[in-house]
Chains A and B, each alone.
Chain A
Amino acid sequence: MSIIEFHKTSKHFGDLKVLDEVDLAIEEGEVVVLIGPSGSGKSTLLRCINGLEQITGGDLIVDGISVRAGGRKLRQIRQEAGMVFQQFNLFPQMTALQNVAFGPRKVRGLSRAEAESQALLLLEKVGLKERAHHVPSALSGGQQQRVAIARALAVRPKVMLFDEPTSALDPELKQEVLNVMRQLAQEGMTMVVVTHEMSFARQVGSRLIFMEHGKISVDGHPAEVIANPPSDRLRDFLQHVE
């Protein structure tokens, strides 16, 4: 059984078909990089996995549970699939440490002391132990995004979903975030990453998916697909992002 299974999954916004009968299976340990033109449905595909968007056709199974189940089952899926957003979305009223400890406390029911000692280890892992008691507004974008990664990891997910995690960052800050993601991939985390960082896709990705108009148009090994794009549109696209 694959950890994520799309079965003819569709998503409509009103009359607009944003995902068009997508079939896709993602195995544990894969690092899937999603690319594609703006509006092709990359974010939507990602957000359907953890039910932030409700699918309107087909089915989508995450770790054996259908996203259609809703309620407690959906919350279980969300605990298994951590998400990192383009805009970080850290809780501004909490310090970095409180942000990271929040999930374990409120979702997993850990005590404050337990949650915070684990949170500190995670902050150390992303290189921000010294910034533990800073509020998000006192951190740089790259630091905020690393806290956001630690926050998602704190809930102990099996899969990590990244929606353009470095797009809001200055070029010099992108690398520190990509390094954390690279380390995560090396540890065997299953990852689905929407990004336009082609060097990351080539070096870290185990699979590259090119989306167009709500469909998967190319699905292959990153290095091969990038070296020999199987479609003209992918070739054009790659020329534009690099």
Chain B
Amino acid sequence: MEVDWSVVPGFLPQLAAGARVTILIALAGLIGGTILGLIAGLMRAYGGRVINAIAFVYIELIRGTPIVVQVMFLYFAMPILLGIRMDPMSAAILAIVVNAGAYIAEIVRGAFLSIPRGLTEAGLAMGLPQWKVLTHIVGPLAFRRLIPPLGNQFIVSLKDTSLFIVIGVGELTRTGQEIMASNFRAVEIWTAVAVLYLIMTGTLTFILRVIEKRMRIL
């Protein structure tokens, strides 16, 4: 079979629908993952022994297992263990939340702990409560250092959504495979799929660059 690029426009709408699902999973998953990562990261950085240990176990559990296993667990094992049944889409989003959350927690912890201790002491010494020191002094400084590694994690998670092919979520990779199964246009389809991923990650990279440029690292 010859390579024929003219077939691409024909299946583009279908691929675009798949890309929309990918974006939806990544967006919802990363919003949740960022919130979870922020909480777990702060627990690690500032929690007492017990709180720290809880966050530590969560992070190590996730970092020590592949994301495919995690989503399989959520989708196939949770119904048996806890009687919680979810549709593939929810399982996919939750997998990103839990998975990205663990990596983001380490990013958050590192960023907050990288802020010189003296600034915290200066805040405390004027009579601020610890939480105000975090929200007004350390937080804004840590945020600037957070952006580059956070952006990196967003890109990794966005690409990880392709692994949810294993539970049958109709995201971009899965859509590509479905079209393949009907017309065997491997070169055209996988090129188009790759280009769509590149557009998504490229957009993310661009947004991050703009934010980074606007904010000086202090």
Are A and B associated in one complex? yes
- Are B125 and A75 touching (Cβ within 8 A)? no
Given A106-B132, A106-B136, also A91-B126 (CB < 8 A): no
A44 CB, nearest partner CB in chain B, Å = 13
Q: Is A2 close to B, CB under 8 A? A: no
**Complex Cα gap A137–B132 (Å):** 23
Query: Can you list, as one digit per residue, whether each of A170-201 has a CB less than 8 Å from chain B (1) or not (0)?
Result: 00000000000000000000000000000000
Among B15-23, B55-63, B115-123, the stretch in contact with A: B115-123
Determine the distance from Cα of A107 to Cα of B126 in the docked complex, in whole angstroms. 7
Smallest Cβ-Cβ distance to A50: which chain B residue? B125
In the assembled complex, the CB of B26 is this many whole angstroms from the nearest CB of chain A, namely: 31
A85 contacts B122, CB within 8 Å?
A: yes
Minimum CB–CB distance from A125 to chain B (whole Å) comes to 18
B127 near A: Cβ within 8 Å? yes
Q: Which A residues are CB-close (under 8 A) to B121?
A: 52, 83, 85, 89
| A-B pair number, CB within 8 angstroms | 60
Distance in Å from the Cβ of B145 to the closest Cβ of chain A? 12
Contact A83–B127 (Cβ < 8 Å): no
The A interface, classified by DSSP as helix, strand, loop or mixed, is mixed
Structural contact, B141 and A78, CB atoms closer than 8 A:
no
Task: Kindly state whether residue A54 has any CB partner on chain B within 8 Å.
Answer: no
B7 in the interface (beta carbon within 8 A): no
Q: Output the nearest chain A residue to B143 by Cβ-Cβ distance.
A: A93
**Cβ contacts under 8 Å, A90 to chain B:** 122
Check: B179 CB closer than 8 A to any chain A CB: no
Size bin of chain A's contact surface: 20 to 34
- Shortest B147–chain A CB gap in Å is 14
How many chain B residues touch the partner (CB < 8 A)?
Answer: 18
With known contacts A52-B121, A106-B136, A79–B218 Cβ distance under 8 A: no
C-alpha gap A76/B129 in the complex (Å): 11
On whether A76 and B218 interact (CB within 8 A), knowing A85-B118, A91-B122, the answer reads no
Whether the pair A107, B128 counts as a contact (CB closer than 8 A) is: yes
Judged by a CB distance under 8 angstroms, whether A152 is at the interface is: yes
Partner of A75, one of B129, B137, B140: B129
Q: Given the complex, which residues of A lie within 8 Å of B136, measured CB to CB?
A: 102, 106
Given A89-B116, A89-B118, A83:B125 Cβ within 8 A: yes
Complexed CA–CA distance, A106 and B119 (Å): 15
Q: Given the interface contacts A85-B118, A93-B218, does A76 sit within 8 Å of B127 by beta carbon?
A: yes
Q: Which of A137-154 contact B (CB under 8 A)?
A: 137, 148, 151-152
Bound Cα distance A137, B141 (Å): 14
Select one of B127, B129, B137, B218 contacting A155, CB under 8 A. Answer: B127
> Closest residue of chain B to A77, judged by CB?
B127
Q: Does B207 contact A (CB under 8 A)?
A: no
| Set of chain A residues within 8 Å of B125, measured between Cβ atoms | 50, 52, 78, 81-83, 152
A118 part of interface (Cβ distance < 8 Å): no
CB neighbours of A75 from chain B (8 A): 127-129
Provide the bound-state CA to CA distance between A102 and B218, in Å. Answer: 18
Select from chain A the residue with minimum beta-carbon distance to B138.
A91
Q: Shortest CB–CB separation between residue B116 and chain A, in angstroms? A: 7
Which residues of chain B are near A79, meaning CB under 8 Å? 126-127
- A214 beta carbon closer than 8 Å to chain B: no
A234 to B127, CA, bound (A): 36
- B141 contacts A92, C-beta separation under 8 Å: yes
Q: Is B124 an interface residue (CB 8 A)?
A: yes
- The interface centre, meaning the residue of B124, B126, B141 with most chain A CB atoms within 10 A of its CB, is B126
- Interchain CA distance A92-B119 in the complex, whole Å: 9
Closest-CB distance, B175 to chain A (whole angstroms): 45
> Separation in Å of the B62 CB from the closest CB of chain A?
32
Q: Does A206 contact B (CB under 8 A)?
A: no
Interface residues of B in 74-133 (CB under 8 A from A): 116, 118-119, 121-129, 132
Q: List 8 A-B contacts (CB under 8 A).
A: A75-B128, A85-B122, A87-B116, A89-B119, A89-B122, A91-B123, A92-B119, A103-B127
Known: A91-B122, A93-B141. 7 other contacts (CB 8 A): A50-B125, A75-B127, A87-B116, A91-B137, A92-B218, A103-B126, A107-B127
Q: Which 8 A-B pairs have the closest CB atoms?
A: A79-B127, A78-B127, A89-B118, A89-B122, A83-B125, A92-B218, A103-B126, A75-B127
